[in-house]
Structure 1
Amino acid sequence: MSANKTNKTAVAAAAGAILLALGPNAQAQSSISMYGELDTGLAYLSNVGGHSQWQATTGLVDGSYWGLQGIEDLGGGYRAIFRLERGFSVTSGEMLNDHPYYVGLGSDKAGTLTLGHQYDLIHDYFAPFTLTGGTGGTAFAHPFDNDNANNTYLAANSVKYASPSFGGLTLGGMYAFSNAAGQFANNRAYSFGASYQNGALNAGAAYLHANGRGNSSTGAYDAAVLPSVTDVFEAAVQTQNTYGFGVSYAIGDLTMAAAWSRSTYTGVTVIDTGDSAPSIGFSNYELNGVYQLTPSVALAGSYTYTKGSGSHWHNGGVQADYQFSKRTDTYLEAIYQRASSGAPAVINSADPSSSHNQVLIGAGLRHRF
């Protein structure tokens, strides 16, 4: 049996076991639901390794996945919750470990505590102010998704807390264990965040720190993807710090947002060779807007300037989305990236260009269930 079939069988068996163990009465009391999304389409890339490329795509905006989630009322205002999601490629059938699964406890007064494989606080408190963390999705990420606004990696072995709202202010914290004996800080991470909402105004900020990222397969995070002069490589990173701040304001059907983030990677080692590589930092400055033209048509666009260590990137794109129904929509988007000399152009989800420019034009169909 192939690895893909084995993964599918295991996931299906786990889901079946959960539902069987809970039984029909428990299912009703616990509000268990199954849900998911499929996103697939076609894309043209102007330059991949020196050639243009046409490809069938999966997850050009959202990663395809299926999930189970549930809530059980424990009394006294407390509830037990769980979430189990699994990503997959619609085009190849490959199973992907890019979605959360956790169990936890929560209440309206005390907040929510969860344990498992989860999004960090960059996702919860900063990413919503970027287009990649909102309607734009995957291809609108900042170069190399250096600030994780597109959820390229999730935190394993993590414990996360989200507070209730205090007059529009919410707070959160996360710690992800290394799970290594005698190496408590080797591939561990912690993250903090806060958001504030007052009518049409929203703001959020988050911080992520990781030690020894990619040093082990059982720690908080996998290796990072970083740029060399002409290409990208997987890297173990001894210290990563990421800060992000965003703000948005809604005026009728138009929502405008601005976001800034700073990511630094030090103690960098190339995974394939073990060679040391220079430390690198990225500062991302983004402006974006989403306009609900009609109840069925939404238009979005963004521009990001990324300043790296000795290099920089300009990244701009537009997207139009048409809603056939509440569950099914189609989209058309175009993204252009230009890198300075000494840096590769790499639109997120694409392979590197052989020049300093890359264009992606894509269209797709999504269905949610």
Structure 2
Amino acid sequence: MKKSLLALAALGAFAGVAHAQSSVTLYGIVDVGINMNTNAGGFHKYDMSSGVLQGSRFGLRGTEDLGGGLKALFVLENGFDLTNGKLGQGGLMFGRQAYVGLSSNFGTVTLGRQYDSVVDYVGPFESGDQWGGYIAAHPGDIDNFNNAYRTNNTIKYTSANYSGLTFGGTYSFGGTAGDFSHNQIWSLGAGYNNGPLALGVGYLNARTPAASGGLFNNGGTIATNTPATGTTAASFAVTTPIYAGFASANTYQVIGAGGAYTFGAATIGLTYSNIQFGNLGKTFASPFAGQKATFNNGEINFKYQLTPALLVGAAYDYTRGEQIEGNSRAQYHQGALGVDYFLSKRTDVYLVGVYQHALGDTVNTAGQVVAATAAINGLTGSTTNNQFTARVGIRHKF
């Protein structure tokens, strides 16, 4: 009897050790609010929507200590619409993230559906990733700073932290037999965060982004999940008019940089991005076959922690297109203001307003040069060159 009790005690002790060496955490965010849009396809619109300040989600993350400084880890993260219970990211079960990997003192390697380096190292400096939500992202989230698109079939490396310096990269297999570059995506980035100064740079390159399974067509937030199978631009799934006319490109490329400096309760930030849609007409027919469209974007933002519970923010963003080799030039001026009040560490209420003004002309999905119209990210576009939206919402983290 004593031997049995001793054996049970020993097993219990080992079970406790094993439990201490591994963990699984359930986490999530629920975000919902009421919106007003002054011009949604020509009409005023009032509605309720989910996941503007941060995408509504729940997820599981876990680690296991394998010994010798080596750990196994995984993340499974679902996105959903709080207003109706539907899955997000085109109906994918774990459309936000889904990966597994190994971590050591030399860095972390993960495999699955993941964020690219522009999102990781530059995105956090944009106002939309801080207090403005996706409506304050750059027009059409054209540079993916706000994580409109994620990468499938991805191998990712993230370095250890070397006195504030981190770096990494991703590579996504296209998976097309006989065409190694089809749907291929790769990115590189680096960041520095030490004291009041933070900096980040990133590069993203995606081949045939509008093809079935490409970057724009794998469950993005501003595209449907319907493959672009037609031979004209009208078959393309991206809904934003900012760059839908250039979706036939063979290559989508982003070069981005950002920085922020904190002094006391205030932080000022800057971002810059250069975006190119190269070799138009590759994915489907375009009257501008072989040409390219280029955009440049710059943002300055400011936030101030008035009290431990009250944050205010302001931002101005400018986007300029040098499109189809100078035959059209669109400009977008955008301003955003936000107030965020924390009722507790996990629950806050917020108010965000965004105004956008468009100038010049652009290319529509039929390949025609037309007057540019305002199109705040994630919303139904305006029929004029002006659009204003305001949102009041509540967010809870668990």
Which interval holds the TM-score relative to the shorter structure?
A: 0.7 to 0.9
- Quick check: 1:101–1:116 contact (8 Å CA) kept in 2? yes
Q: Deviations over 1:49-99 (max 9, x none)?
A: 111100111112111011000010010011001000010111122201341
User: Of residues 84, 89, 94 in structure 1, which corresponds to 2:86?
Assistant: 94
User: Of residues 102, 106, 111 in structure 2, which corresponds to 1:105?
Assistant: 102
Deviation at 1:266, TM superposition (A): 2.1
User: Of residues 28, 44, 50 in structure 2, which corresponds to 1:36?
Assistant: 28
Q: What SS does the aligned partner of 2:119 have?
A: helix
Q: Within the alignment, does 1:246 sit opposite 2:258 as a pair?
A: yes
Q: Within the alignment, does 1:172 sit opposite 2:185 as a pair?
A: no
How many matched pairs? 343
Q: Within the alignment, does 1:153 sit opposite 2:149 as a pair?
A: yes
In percent, how many aligned pairs have the same letter?
40
| TM-score relative to the length of structure 2 | 0.81
Q: Within the alignment, does 1:124 sit opposite 2:120 as a pair?
A: yes
Larger proportion of strand = 1
Q: Within the alignment, does 1:75 sit opposite 2:97 as a pair?
A: no
Matches of 2:237 and 2:101, distance apart in 1: 29
Q: Say which is worse superposed, 120-129 or 93-102, in terms of deviation.
A: 93-102
Matches of 1:62 and 1:365, distance apart in 2: 10
Deviation at 1:164, TM superposition (A): 1.0
Q: What SS does the aligned partner of 1:95 have?
A: coil
- Quick check: 1:254–1:292 contact (8 Å CA) kept in 2? yes
Deviation at 1:274, TM superposition (A): 4.5
Question: What pairs up with 1:222-301 in 2 under 5 angstroms?
Answer: 222=217, 225=238, 232=244, 235-269=247-281, 274-276=285-287, 279-301=292-314
Matches of 2:238 and 2:252, distance apart in 1: 12
Q: Within the alignment, does 1:359 sit opposite 2:350 as a pair?
A: no
The one-letter code of the counterpart of 1:350 is L
| TM-score relative to the length of structure 1 | 0.88
Structure 2 vs 1, CA of residues 281 and 248 (structure 1 numbering), >3 Å: closer, same or farther? Answer: same
Structure 2 vs 1, CA of residues 279 and 179 (structure 1 numbering), >3 Å: closer, same or farther? Answer: same
The one-letter code of the counterpart of 2:272 is W
Q: Say which is worse superposed, 234-243 or 166-175, in terms of deviation.
A: 234-243
| Structure 2 partner of 1:133 | 129
Structure 2 vs 1, CA of residues 294 and 357 (structure 1 numbering), >3 Å: closer, same or farther? Answer: same
Q: Say which is worse superposed, 90-99 or 181-190, in terms of deviation.
A: 90-99
**Unaligned ranges ≥5, structure 1:** 1-22
Matches of 1:24 and 1:65, distance apart in 2: 31
| Structure 1 partner of 2:379 | 350
Q: What SS does the aligned partner of 1:62 have?
A: coil
- Quick check: 1:158–1:220 contact (8 Å CA) kept in 2? no
User: Of residues 177, 180, 185 in structure 2, which corresponds to 1:181?
Assistant: 177
Structure 2 vs 1, CA of residues 49 and 220 (structure 1 numbering), >3 Å: closer, same or farther? Answer: closer
Q: What SS does the aligned partner of 2:96 have?
A: coil
Task: Give the number of the structure whose alpha-carbon radius of gyration is greater.
Answer: 2
The one-letter code of the counterpart of 2:321 is G
Deviation at 1:220, TM superposition (A): 5.0
| Structure 2 partner of 1:327 | 346
- Quick check: 1:176–1:220 contact (8 Å CA) kept in 2? no
The one-letter code of the counterpart of 2:80 is F
Matches of 1:221 and 1:306, distance apart in 2: 20
